[in-house]
Amino acid sequence: MKMKKIIASSMSAAMDKVKSELGEDAVILQSKELSEGGIFGFFKKKKYEVIAVRDDKQIGKNKEEQNPIIQMNEQVNSIDVQAEINALKSEISSYKQQTFVQEHYPLKIQHYLNRLRDIEMDERYIDEIAQQLLMNWRNSLQEPSDSEIYQWVSQQLNERMSHYMFREKQAKQCINIVGPTGVGKTTTIAKIAAQAVLEQKQKVAFITLDTYRIAAIEQLKTYAELLKIPVEVVYETKDLKHALESFKEYDLILIDTAGRNYRDEIFVSELKKQFTGVDIETLLVLPISMKERDLCTIVDNFLMFGIDFFLFTKADETRSYGAMFNLMTTYKLGASYITNGQEVPDDLQIATPEKITSYLLGEQNEK
């Protein structure tokens, strides 16, 4: 078997070369259009690349098809040839994926594409961003500076996230914080409360439904004492209605829900029933230090509850910031806050497209 790559000025010229060099029995494995030369994306010349293969065994078979020995081995040989062709196709495909960035993108663009891969942004979104960056490059009259390319990347990220709602200011009196155990719900509630009390001078109250963990109740009560705000422990649905009524004059009511059984649809359904008729905003807490497939499992199980915003925690414990972008893009939901440490209330940031972009591009100050 003989394989050859041929480049010509037109597809017909490439086919003529294939016939000339490999014969009429050659098989075309791949063809594509190339652009070469030019200045800053202009005056590029189009060329065509063809990868073809000739199977000498198959040619020999055609010449000796009457030979009974050849006929007897015909099926085996055909399988071998097809296996070789499939292997070649696989190798070419793998080679294309590995060298695509190097062959098609300037080094300055590659720098940012590699950054997005390092933080584990989904390859689909990287490819889309890469195509737009390359278009910008080709439309430039001169070679873009590093700062220009940075602006292009930032603009791409910000524009894509701007399609989703972000919780830049409080819209409702009641905020419900949901999520599984261990994601940082109680500490995050304390941070939100502390900012509201100390910086915005709001009147804040706590309600907790997490009656399964005594430690969680005690932790919330400790924060309540420090901030001098009331806390109600709710054991039954009727107690929730009563607690909400008693705090109706407050500026902000923060509700901590139980973190157990988030995979149990019945549990989540029962939790949702408790808030029937209540004008409430629900934030789903997601630690981006967790594997993304596990985060998706959490989101899928809480979708039936009704999520208004994501709340990303533990940004100080990972560098996989791409999960924030991936989740928002996949589920078409914006974010409310990002937490990046244990300090209350300092390590709580309001989430905006610009803030998340700063994480994605490595600008965010690292602890």
Quick one: 94 and 195 in the same domain? Answer: no
- Amino acid (one-letter) located at 15: M
Quick one: 128 and 95 in the same domain? Answer: no
C-alpha to C-alpha distances, 217 to 82, 160, 210, 259, 346, nearest whole angstrom: 67, 40, 7, 12, 22
Low-confidence ranges of the chain (pLDDT < 70): 1, 29-31, 35-45, 55-77, 79-104, 211-213, 237, 259-265, 267-268, 271, 363-367
Structural domain ending residue among the three candidates 53, 74, 103: 103
Quick one: 117 and 212 in the same domain? Answer: no
Q: What are 175-233's pLDDT values in tens digits?
A: 999 888 878 888 899 999 999 999 999 999 999 887 666 777 888 889 899 999 999 98
Whether 83 is covered by a domain: the verdict is yes
Structural domain ending residue among the three candidates 161, 194, 228: 161
Whether 365 is covered by a domain: the verdict is no
Quick one: 137 and 214 in the same domain? Answer: no
Residue 233: which region, alpha, beta or left (left: phi > 0; alpha: psi -120 to 50)? beta
Q: What are 13-36's pLDDT values in tens digits?
A: 877 888 888 887 777 766 677 766
Quick one: 152 and 247 in the same domain? Answer: no
Structural domain ending residue among the three candidates 140, 161, 182: 161
Quick one: 199 and 334 in the same domain? Answer: yes
Whether 167 is covered by a domain: the verdict is no
Quick one: 283 and 188 in the same domain? Answer: yes
Q: Which two tokens stand for residue 349?
A: 């940031």
- As for how many domains the chain has, the answer is 3
Quick one: 231 and 146 in the same domain? Answer: no
CATH of the domain at 261: 3.40.50.300
Quick one: 140 and 216 in the same domain? Answer: no
Quick one: 205 and 346 in the same domain? Answer: yes
Mark out the alpha helices in the chain (DSSP H runs).
11-22, 56-63, 68-104, 107-118, 123-138, 146-161, 185-198, 214-227, 237-246, 265-273, 292-302, 322-331, 353-360
Range of the domain at 111: 107-161
